[in-house]
């Protein structure tokens, strides 16, 4: 992926990137979704659109010069550590702490469900640096490199889907990180996390529509070949019409996602549209997979079937990057008419 130039499409040419915008990320994510391997797709998109943007948005020149060439070339893998056992979509609830000690900060705590956590080389870790203020005002992001004393992978997690993606628990036990590894401003990390959520959610919506479109293509081919009761499944009106409606819904989801990406690329406030795309597309991909597996019959339930794998991979889309319920609240908050 690095050799092909796909890991830096949003980043400056001086580091090996292509200097594109949000629409470039959406195209990449949609095509990755069509690979039929959700674990592969998210391994790449976490690297390109969920972790490294923190470096792009808030890193200083020295940090960018040090890390970007390897990240964009694919020589090193990055991950972002925000989620904890007791803090998922509620970012302000994180408990990992970082205490100043001379020229270092000492990190203690743990992170959970971290994609690329096992094989990562560079981690962007959120920690509380001021416990006396409102939670959202006391979070700082640190760059932590693999091999830093006190930092370890607690365990690799065994997941229902995304099996070819590594997901880990990270542990920080008096982990000493140099002060120059603070990413952005001290105590302002919450805003960096919130800013990139919109990009992350748009990418997940696009990946979901790529997965859904591919599943429909596979199912259309299957039902035109599979015979039952003297005719192909395609000859059954109910099957044709259900697949036709799903195609219409997927196209609607794609258009909504591209619109949200376009708004973001123009610098517009697109939180409502992004939340709509994330909620709609990540629920829709599960509806599509359920129906496609159903129309594959028994074969769709066998592990050697791509549809079986895709249906497991899709389930997490309505959870990761902000659960559907959280997205609906974001939409609702922006839907109240103030007279």
Q: How confident is the model at residue 339 (pLDDT cuts 50, 70, 90)?
A: low
CATH number corresponding to 13-76: 1.10.540.10
Stretch 212-222: mean pLDDT, rounded?
97
Instruction: Label residues 125-142 b or e (16+ Cβ within 10 Å = b).
Output: bbbbbeeeeebeebbbbb
Q: Which stretches does DSSP call E strand in the chain? A: 78-81, 97-101, 104-115, 122-128, 139-145, 151-156, 167-178, 182-183, 227-228, 231-232
Catalytic residue of the set 30, 169, 200, 273: 200
What are the distances in angstroms from CA 234 to CA 96, 140, 229, 237, 300?
55, 56, 12, 7, 17
Q: What is the pLDDT of residues 264-316, one digit of tens each?
A: 999 999 999 999 999 999 999 999 999 999 999 999 999 999 999 999 999 99
Q: What is the pLDDT of residues 55-81, one digit of tens each?
A: 999 999 999 999 999 999 999 999 999
Query: What sign for the dihedral angle of Cα 72, 76, 82, 86?
Result: positive
Write down the mean pLDDT value for the chain.
94
Closest CA to 71 of 46, 44, 52: 52
Identify the pLDDT of residue 136: 74
The reply to whether 79-185 and 191-333 are identical in fold is no
Identify the pLDDT of residue 273: 97
Identify the pLDDT of residue 192: 85
- Separation CA 46–CA 28 (nearest Å): 12
Q: What is the pTM of this model?
A: 0.93
* C-alpha dihedral (215, 246, 298, 312), degrees to nearest 10: 60
Identify the pLDDT of residue 22: 94
Rg of the Cα atoms in the chain: 21
Q: How confident is the model at residue 263 (pLDDT cuts 50, 70, 90)?
A: very high
Multiple choice CATH, 191-333, 3.40.50.150, 1.10.150.20, 1.20.140.10, 1.10.600.10: 1.20.140.10
All structural domains of the chain with their residue ranges: 13-76, 79-185, 191-333
Q: What is the pLDDT of residues 109-142, one digit of tens each?
A: 999 999 999 999 999 999 999 988 877 789 999 9
- Separation CA 194–CA 51 (nearest Å): 13
Q: What is the pLDDT of residues 140-183, one digit of tens each?
A: 999 999 999 999 999 999 999 999 999 999 999 999 999 999 99
**Superfamily, domain 79-185:** Butyryl-CoA Dehydrogenase, subunit A, domain 2 (2.40.110.10)
Whether 200 is catalytic is yes
- Separation CA 286–CA 212 (nearest Å): 8
Structure-token pair, residue 245: 């409606």
- For residue 86, pLDDT over 80 is answered with no
Identify the pLDDT of residue 338: 65
């Amino acid at each position: 992926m690095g050799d092909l130039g796909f890991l830096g499409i949003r980043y400056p040419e001086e580091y090996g990137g292509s200097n594109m915008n949000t629409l470039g990320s959406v195209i990449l994510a949609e095509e990755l979704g069509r690979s039929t391997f959700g674990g592969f797709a998210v391994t790449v998109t976490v690297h390109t659109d969920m972790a490294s943007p923190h470096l792009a948005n808030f890193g200083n020149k020295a940090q960018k010069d040090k890390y970007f060439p390897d990240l964009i070339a694919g020589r090193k893998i990055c991950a972002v550590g925000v989620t904890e056992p007791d803090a998922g979509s509620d970012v302000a609830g994180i408990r990992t702490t970082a205490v100043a000690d001379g020229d270092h900060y000492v990190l203690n705590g743990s992170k959970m469900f971290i994609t690329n956590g096992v094989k990562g080389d560079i981690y962007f870790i959120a920690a509380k640096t001021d416990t006396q203020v409102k939670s959202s005002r006391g979070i700082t992001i640190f760059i932590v490199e693999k091999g830093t004393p006190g930092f370890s992978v607690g365990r690799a997690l065994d997941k229902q889907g995304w099996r070819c993606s590594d997901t880990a628990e990270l542990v920080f036990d008096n982990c000493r990180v140099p002060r120059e590894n603070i990413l952005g401003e001290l105590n302002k990390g919450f805003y960096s996390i919130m800013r990139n959520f919109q990009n992350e959610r748009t990418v997940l919506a696009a990946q979901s529509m790529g997965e859904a479109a591919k599943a429909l293509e596979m199912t259309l081919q299957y039902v035109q070949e599979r015979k039952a009761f003297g005719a192909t499944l395609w000859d059954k009106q109910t099957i044709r019409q259900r697949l036709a409606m799903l195609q219409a819904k997927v196209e609607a989801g794609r258009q909504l996602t591209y619109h949200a990406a376009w708004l973001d690329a123009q610098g517009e406030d697109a939180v409502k549209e992004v939340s709509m795309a994330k909620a709609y597309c990540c629920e829709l991909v599960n509806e599509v997979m359920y129906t496609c597996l159903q129309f594959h019959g028994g074969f769709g339930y066998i592990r050697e079937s791509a549809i079986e794998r895709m249906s497991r991979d899709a389930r997490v889309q309505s959870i990761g990057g902000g659960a559907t319920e959280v997205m609906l609240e974001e939409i609702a908050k922006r839907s109240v008419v103030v007279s």
